[in-house]
Structure 1
Amino acid sequence: MDKGNHQQSDSVSMNEQPNLQQFVSELNSYSREEGDTPPAVRGAEAPIGHVLEIAGSGSRVVLDARRLMELQGNEDPALSMSGQVGSQVKMPVGNSWLIANVRTMRAFEGTTVLAHVDFLGEGKRDSSGGMSSFKRGVTRFPIPGCEVHPVTTPDLQSVFAADNRPHIEIGTVYPTDDIRGALYVDPMLGKHFAVLGSTGTGKSTSVSLILHRICEASPEGHIVMIDPHGEYSAAFKGFGEIFNVDNLQLPYWLMNFEEHCEVMLTSSGKDRQRDEDILAKCLLEARTRNKMAAEFGKVTVDSPIPYLLTDLNQIIVNEMGKLDRAGDAAPYQRLKNKLDELRTDPRFSFMFSGMMVSDTMGKFLAKMFRLPAEGRPISIVDVSGVPSEVTSTVVSVLARMVFDYAIWSRTEAQRPMLLVCEEAHRYVPKDESGGGQAVRRILERIAKEGRKYGVSLGLITQRPSDLAEGVLSQCGTIISMRLNNERDQDVVRAAMPEGARGFLDAIPALRNRECIASGEGVNIPIRVTFDTLEAEKRPASSDPSFAEMWKQTGDEEGIISRTVRRWRGHGK
């Protein structure tokens, strides 16, 4: 609901004044009748307001500000929060309690408050007034005049308690300090998830906590995480496999034709199309020179058949020698020069090493996808040391290998996989004009089709507004931490389900390590304070203290010497 509609829904027209005045009068009358009852006795049994108007997904209610003030001093934290934005209220409908979330509040007349609430679900009402068996969704709606009651901590325990489905606990539900917030593993992974939050909100630590909980619950799982800053290696050392430019050994021949073009072609416009045609012809011939090609019959430029870089180079030279005019050799020379650069530049040795021509595809998939996991189900791929020219291509190859493996292993025992992309807006940007379109296309395809083949996508980003349109909407579970940018908030507002709209105004005000979780992975939208993660499981993402660090001195000469050596040796 946009802001205009939002304001309109809370306004009161002249035609509604008599109706609203009647409710206000009833509230005042009720308060006078109960005025001699001590607040502590009245507690949760007495209503705090009445329903004014009903809509399909929510309602407007009138609340008595005096009752809300009385409850603020209650020992029960749920009762003390009654009526506040982001809290819950309940309404009796037959033998059920209907639970709603308070979205907005505004003063109306005297001690009357007009509030907009969103329906969350309903639970059974027992003879003592308690609630059990809460379920999301509404089967029966209240009618105008229905009482509105505050919820108690036992009510919230019934609402938020995890059922018997596999789940992970990540923290405590606001405003309580003992009700556990849970994410259901299968719905969350089966329909993708996103973790959003501005820099400095504790996003990386929270992601580490979620992944650690998943690994603990499924030690034989299969998780691949793309880590662009090298933050998560520290968090999973000893709990998973860590890959970087020193041990990644990504065979260049695993690239498909589109990825070859991104790495090997330097031209644009009309020249690029001609260069693509030449590369396609030469690459296909290089692949078919492998005796393996005869075994599999039809081979294409996309087939992951090993080939020698020297063969590709020789084929390019041979084709160039067949030309009638020297001027026609420019595309071949461009391609040859780039190939020479990839072969000789040590920055690319993790991918374009001469040692990668043997058929290592099976071993590479086994170690990268943790098949078998042997109690270490996660692979952290640190791409911070990968040259920026090929970073998107490396991510594209890894993501495509996850998806293609899932497709081609459909007749085997299924091994679902989770692909987690930190800084997702880098790889699936809203702007389609830049480079690195291969990774964009494969991640968009996984978002749309991955769940059919057992591939889950986890997107982590601080700038959801920079993500390609439609990708975030493919995520069934959204875990939003504090977002300071209004454009980012608007994107999250559009992606969140209707029942979570009442939490949106709280997103800019969330504390560090707090989130709003909504969608398939939770029973109803919840505000959660994340657990404190053990020190050895935290990522290396804490910001340095300028005030403290600038007090330290000594061994500057040694620091510079060692830094320059690593710089020149590319991390050695």
Structure 2
Amino acid sequence: MDTGLISPDEDAEDDRRDVYHPGNRCLGRVVACNGSQATISAVINAGETTLSELWSVGRLVSISTGVSRIAALVYSMTTQSRAWADSHDNVMLVEVELVGEVTTLEDGEVLFHSGIRTYPHLGAVAHRMRATDLAAIYRNHSDKSEVIGRLSQDETMDAAISIPTLLDRHFAVLGSTGVGKSTSVSHLINKAIAAEPTLRVLILDPHNEFAAAFPDKSVVIEPDTMSLPFWLFRLEEFVEVLFRGRPGVPEEIDFLHDLIAEAKRIFKATPDSGIVRRDAERHGISVDTPVPYRLTDLIDQIDERLGKLDGKDEKPTLRNLKQRILSAASNPRFRFMFANNAVGDTMADVISAIFRIPGHGRPITAFQLSGIPSEVVNAVASVLCRLAFELGVAANGGLRLLVLCEEAHRYVPADASIGFAPTRQAIARIAKEGRKYGVGLGVITQRPGELDATILSQCSTVFAMRLTNDKDQEIIAKAISSSSSSTIGFLSSLDNGEAIAFGEAIAVPMRMRFERLAQHRLPRSAGRESSLAAERRANDAGALVRRMRHVAPVDDFALGRGVSAGLDKSPSDDLLDDAPGLFYGSRGDPEFLSHVPGSSQSVRRYSDGSTSLPRSPLTQTAREPDVRTNGAPSSSTPDSRTEHERELSIREAIFGRPGSSRR
């Protein structure tokens, strides 16, 4: 394959021959030049095609200045007459971008420098690039450089990057859907861990696909197995959960601020909480201090205020707040926050599990977000990114961390009026200050135009894969250096797995192709099933309904009759959304009972393989009238039940016993 390169032996040819002779390495002469670009004129003899075949868009050529050689990238070609004739000579005008300067030292070493010190004069000879010059241009001088692929211009040449710079100064992988972003990122992570064995990687994985790429290097945290205690959430994050992503009620938030701070101060349920209590007394505890507290203490404080004779105007607000807390705590979808009723100071265990301390040979954590309710994903992402930064600060840079944000435009959108502010702040803090504490950021998105420009500007290395949207291409054009701006013209024509890489971790902007991964190492969604299994399930409506109810069981009483539990006004939309979670509804979630203390009911299994749970007293009363011995229905109805009775039922479902929940 003719790559357009010449060997050192060819370089010794006599250049005094006809400069347009096809056998000569001369391609043309400079006829125009400015600070960053030049125009080369090349004459193609009648009937000849050899010389014209050496010109192609995207190829590097060399321009001799006498003391050095200028590397130039071809980005546009045309003929002087705007036509092509076989009967006479054709004059080509080739537009090139000046990339840098190559010099040869006395000892024969070839060096490349970005920028131009000696510009080519008019008439300067343009020729094919030497193989040694091309190697010098793309050589990475970092002590921990890793080969990630091959140059598109010459697949015999390695494409290498500096791993320390990539991690310290953040990076971004941008490209349209289906171009191979996840595969490329998986390859980068493998190379990063090979160069930095102490690195810990946290992947925010919204599609559950990265676990397959690191079967022997990662642990997977799924919604069914994850534990992210509610007390780790700061006030804004906890409010995001309670209000399901909708704006909070200011009066309720004010109460919650005081109640959480007090609940943390009175925490004394477990023997090891004494350390926390003594620290609290010495240093003071605020609402955002990451120490445990019990929901029972929170509810008891609300009950205490509700029991007072004064403050009648506050009672509706307190009742609404109480209902939100009970609703969230009893919802199976939020079991990752509220499943453990035996509250203790497990922060060290949580940090160890999420950030792999110690790693035990598996330094990667794939945090799968697809099973988390979409309305609280931002709050979870905020907690994780905030903990990563705080962990780096606590370690004073002694712990190397990389936070990888897939679909980053969800968390830090360009429009500041949308998204969740704490998540934006947590990611922005890593981007701006993470380098000082050994915390790196990796950003992946197919919509760079919808990503906060401030975050992208902090990524000093960019891998731009195929992008067809003009707005997205403009974003890349602003990020790349002016001396390589013509490279952006190739974005829409890149192949899958191909990228234009530029930034501080790369010697010079390059068009490269990532190395291919083995089939079993490719990222793929953990939720995908074989087409046959998927087809069978799709044809079974009952199975589909049971699967839907496993995520969010439906309760006709909760949705049809309401669960106001004493609310002075109709429940808001978010309470209705979560009402199903208050009950164990028919054919609901069998696993939920394992999280309810004192639940010894057996799961009923049907001949079709489905399951159902015995109804709780609240559900049974709501759905089925109490049939007396004479067959007459009881006069007791859901509407006639007192607020206190319904509240006790909810308490029993969540905390395991009625009455006061202090322990």
**TM-score > 0.5 by shorter chain:** yes
Matched, 1:243 2:221: yes
CA RMSD in angstroms comes to 3.1
- Per the TM alignment, residue 397 of structure 1 is displaced from its structure 2 partner at its CA by 0.2
Aligned equivalent of 1:96: 68
Matched, 1:54 2:34: yes
Aligned equivalent of 2:549: 568
Aligned equivalent of 1:120: 99
Matches of 2:507 and 2:381, distance apart in 1: 34
- Per the TM alignment, residue 112 of structure 1 is displaced from its structure 2 partner at its CA by 3.5
Matches of 1:321 and 1:496, distance apart in 2: 64
Task: Report 1 or 2 for greater relative contact order, CA contacts < 8 Å, sequence distance ≥ 6.
Answer: 1
AA aligned opposite 2:361: G
- Per the TM alignment, residue 214 of structure 1 is displaced from its structure 2 partner at its CA by 1.7
Aligned equivalent of 1:24: none
Aligned equivalent of 2:489: 505
Matched, 1:275 2:252: yes
Matches of 1:146 and 1:533, distance apart in 2: 44
Query: Could you give the per-residue CA deviations for residues 81-128 of structure 1, whole angstroms, max 9, x where no partner exists?
Result: x4x322212222343222122233343347344444333222223799
Aligned equivalent of 1:183: 161
* Structure of greater Rg: 2
Q: Are residues 106 and 47 of structure 1, via their aligned partners in 2, closer, same or farther at CA, if it must alter by over 3 Å?
A: closer
Matched, 1:70 2:54: no
What secondary structure sits across from 2:337 in the alignment?
coil
Aligned equivalent of 2:113: 135
Aligned equivalent of 2:470: 486
Matches of 2:402 and 2:204, distance apart in 1: 11
What secondary structure sits across from 2:231 in the alignment?
helix
Q: Are residues 187 and 399 of structure 1, via their aligned partners in 2, closer, same or farther at CA, if it must alter by over 3 Å?
A: same
What secondary structure sits across from 2:453 in the alignment?
coil
Aligned equivalent of 1:315: 301
What are the within-5 Å matches in structure 2 for residues 279-428 of structure 1?
279-290=256-267, 291=274, 292-296=276-280, 297-322=283-308, 324-355=310-341, 357-410=343-396, 414-428=398-412
What secondary structure sits across from 1:349 in the alignment?
helix
Matches of 2:550 and 2:99, distance apart in 1: 58
AA aligned opposite 1:119: L
Query: Could you give the per-residue CA deviations for residues 119-178 of structure 1, whole angstroms, max 9, x where no partner exists?
Result: 3222223799x9822233333333333322221444322222333521222211012121
What secondary structure sits across from 1:430 in the alignment?
coil
Matches of 1:224 and 1:70, distance apart in 2: 53
Query: Could you give the per-residue CA deviations for residues 59-94 of structure 1, whole angstroms, max 9, x where no partner exists?
Result: 222231528952455xxxxxx4x4x32221222234
How many equivalent residue pairs? 521
Matches of 1:347 and 1:223, distance apart in 2: 26
User: Which of residues 516, 520, 533 is equivalent to 1:532?
Assistant: 516
417-426 or 352-361, which deviates more: 352-361
- Per the TM alignment, residue 259 of structure 1 is displaced from its structure 2 partner at its CA by 1.1
8 Å CA contact retained: 1:222, 1:370: yes
8 Å CA contact retained: 2:62, 2:126: yes
- Per the TM alignment, residue 356 of structure 1 is displaced from its structure 2 partner at its CA by 6.2
What secondary structure sits across from 1:220 in the alignment?
coil
What are the within-5 Å matches in structure 2 for residues 102-113 of structure 1?
102-109=74-81, 111-113=90-92
Q: Are residues 62 and 93 of structure 1, via their aligned partners in 2, closer, same or farther at CA, if it must alter by over 3 Å?
A: closer
- Per the TM alignment, residue 565 of structure 1 is displaced from its structure 2 partner at its CA by 4.2
199-208 or 510-519, which deviates more: 199-208
Aligned equivalent of 2:151: 173
- Per the TM alignment, residue 435 of structure 1 is displaced from its structure 2 partner at its CA by 4.5
AA aligned opposite 1:180: D
Matched, 1:454 2:431: no
- Per the TM alignment, residue 262 of structure 1 is displaced from its structure 2 partner at its CA by 1.6
8 Å CA contact retained: 2:411, 2:419: no
Matches of 1:363 and 1:232, distance apart in 2: 23
Aligned equivalent of 2:568: none
- Per the TM alignment, residue 354 of structure 1 is displaced from its structure 2 partner at its CA by 3.1
Matches of 1:91 and 1:350, distance apart in 2: 63
- Per the TM alignment, residue 516 of structure 1 is displaced from its structure 2 partner at its CA by 0.5
Matches of 1:395 and 1:361, distance apart in 2: 17
Matches of 1:469 and 1:99, distance apart in 2: 31
AA aligned opposite 1:234: A
User: Which of residues 210, 221, 230 is equivalent to 2:188?
Assistant: 210
Q: Are residues 247 and 72 of structure 1, via their aligned partners in 2, closer, same or farther at CA, if it must alter by over 3 Å?
A: farther
8 Å CA contact retained: 2:29, 2:123: no
Q: Are residues 226 and 48 of structure 1, via their aligned partners in 2, closer, same or farther at CA, if it must alter by over 3 Å?
A: same
Q: Are residues 109 and 280 of structure 1, via their aligned partners in 2, closer, same or farther at CA, if it must alter by over 3 Å?
A: same
Q: Unaligned regions of 5+ residues in structure 1, if any?
A: 1-29, 74-79
Q: Are residues 434 and 377 of structure 1, via their aligned partners in 2, closer, same or farther at CA, if it must alter by over 3 Å?
A: same
Matches of 2:52 and 2:522, distance apart in 1: 37
Matched, 1:437 2:421: yes
8 Å CA contact retained: 1:91, 1:97: yes
Matches of 2:520 and 2:322, distance apart in 1: 48
- Of all paired residues, the percent bearing the same amino acid is 33
What secondary structure sits across from 1:444 in the alignment?
helix
AA aligned opposite 1:568: R
- Per the TM alignment, residue 249 of structure 1 is displaced from its structure 2 partner at its CA by 0.5
Matches of 1:414 and 1:521, distance apart in 2: 22
Matches of 2:292 and 2:308, distance apart in 1: 26
Matches of 1:180 and 1:355, distance apart in 2: 55
Aligned equivalent of 1:521: 505
Q: Unaligned regions of 5+ residues in structure 2, if any?
A: 1-14, 83-89, 268-273, 552-588, 592-663
Matches of 1:170 and 1:231, distance apart in 2: 21
What secondary structure sits across from 1:471 in the alignment?
helix
- Per the TM alignment, residue 557 of structure 1 is displaced from its structure 2 partner at its CA by 7.9
Q: Are residues 210 and 341 of structure 1, via their aligned partners in 2, closer, same or farther at CA, if it must alter by over 3 Å?
A: same
Q: Are residues 462 and 214 of structure 1, via their aligned partners in 2, closer, same or farther at CA, if it must alter by over 3 Å?
A: same
Q: Are residues 497 and 266 of structure 1, via their aligned partners in 2, closer, same or farther at CA, if it must alter by over 3 Å?
A: same
What secondary structure sits across from 2:74 in the alignment?
strand
Q: Are residues 152 and 33 of structure 1, via their aligned partners in 2, closer, same or farther at CA, if it must alter by over 3 Å?
A: closer
What secondary structure sits across from 1:380 in the alignment?
strand
Query: Could you give the per-residue CA deviations for residues 247-276 of structure 1, whole angstroms, max 9, x where no partner exists?
Result: 21011111112212222247977x733222
- Per the TM alignment, residue 560 of structure 1 is displaced from its structure 2 partner at its CA by 6.0
